[in-house]
Amino acid sequence: MYLFLLGLVVFYYLYRWVRELPRVPDKGSKYVYITGCDSGFGNLLARHLDKQGFRVIASCFTEKGEEDLKKSCSSNLITTHLDVRSKDSVAKVAAMIKDKVGECGLWAVVNNAGVSIPTAPCDWLTIDDYKLMLDVNLNGVIAVTLSVLPLIKKARGRVVNVASVFGRISATGGPYTVSKHGVEAFNDSLSVKMLWDRLPQEDKDDYGAEYVQKALAMISDKVPKACDGDLMKVVSCMEHAVSAVRPRTRYSPGWDAKLFWLPLSYMPTCVSDYIIKKQAIPIAKQIQ
C-alpha cells in the first residue's frame, strides 16, 4: 500500500516536471514589464530574462538603479522610472509601454516592487506605517496590474504577483504580513531599533530589552534567518511563470517554505504561536 502511494507521488511529480518543460517561442517579440528592479529579485530577474532574449521593460525607483541595470544588460532592455504609489507615474509608464508594444500587447507583468520596512509588533507602529507599506505592496500591485491589463489580454499573457509565505502566517507582525496577505487575496534590524527608540518607556518596560535583542538576532539584511537566502530560487520561479507554456498558478520557492512555513500556516493558531514565540523558527534552517 505504501509503495503504491509512493509510486503515485513519484508519478505525479514526474508528470508535472515533463508538463512544465516546454517554453514559449519567439521570446524576442515578447515584452515583460517588471517593477522594482533597483535591486534584489527584480534586478536579478530583469538581467536573467534579458539574457534569455525577452524584451524587458524594467522599472526602477532610482536613477542609480536604472543606470546600473543598463550597464549589466543588453541594448534591448528598457529602463524607466516608476513610483507605484503615484497614479501619474503608473499611468505614464503604462502609456509608454502601450506605445512600445503596439499590437503585440504585453506578454507579462511581474509585480515585484515591495518594501519590508517597518516590520515590528503592531503596537510599535502607527497607521501611517501601515499606509506606506500597503500603498506599495498591495495598492501598487493592483494599480500596475490594472494599468496594463488590456495589453496583457491582447497578448494573451500573464500576471505574476510576488507575495510571501508571511502573507499566510505572521512571524513578525506589522503591515508587511497584512500587505502580503492582501496580495494573496487579489527586515531590517535598523527599522526595529528605530521603532524601539520611539516607543514610550512603559511599552519598552512591557516588552523588555531582551525582546529587542531576539528580534534583532532574527532579522539580518532584510531576510529572516529562518528563510532561505538564495534569491535565485525565487527568480527561477518568476522566470518559469513568465516563460513556461504551462506556468503554475502558485509557486513556493525553497524547502523552508514547503516543509516549514506552509505546514506551519495550516496548524492550529495555538501551535503556530507557540513555535514562533518560543524562537523555534531557526529549526527551519536545518531542513533547507
Burial of 284 by CB count in 10 Å (0-12 exposed, 13-18 middle, 19+ buried)? buried
* Other Cβ atoms within 10 Å of 159 Cβ, number: 16
Report d(CA 167, CA 264) in Å as an integer. Answer: 12
Q: Which residues contact 267 (CB under 8 A, 6 or more apart)?
A: 275
Report d(CA 38, CA 53) in Å as an integer. Answer: 20
Output the nine-digit C-alpha cell for 117.
520596512
**Choosing from 2, 176, 207, 251, which is the catalytic residue?**
176
Q: How far is CA 185 from CA 81, 138, 179, 180, 182, in A?
A: 28, 10, 10, 9, 5
Question: What is the C-alpha radius of gyration for the chain, rounded to an integer number of angstroms?
Answer: 21
Report d(CA 132, CA 116) in Å as an integer. Answer: 10
Q: How far is CA 120 from CA 56, 191, 211, 229, in A?
A: 35, 8, 11, 21
User: For residue 71, which amino acid is it?
Assistant: K
Given its phi and psi angles, is residue 208 left (phi above 0), alpha (psi -120 to 50 degrees) or beta? left
Query: Catalytic annotation on 2?
Result: no
Q: How far is CA 21 from CA 8, 12, 55, in A?
A: 20, 14, 21
Give the residue numbers marked as catalytic: 176
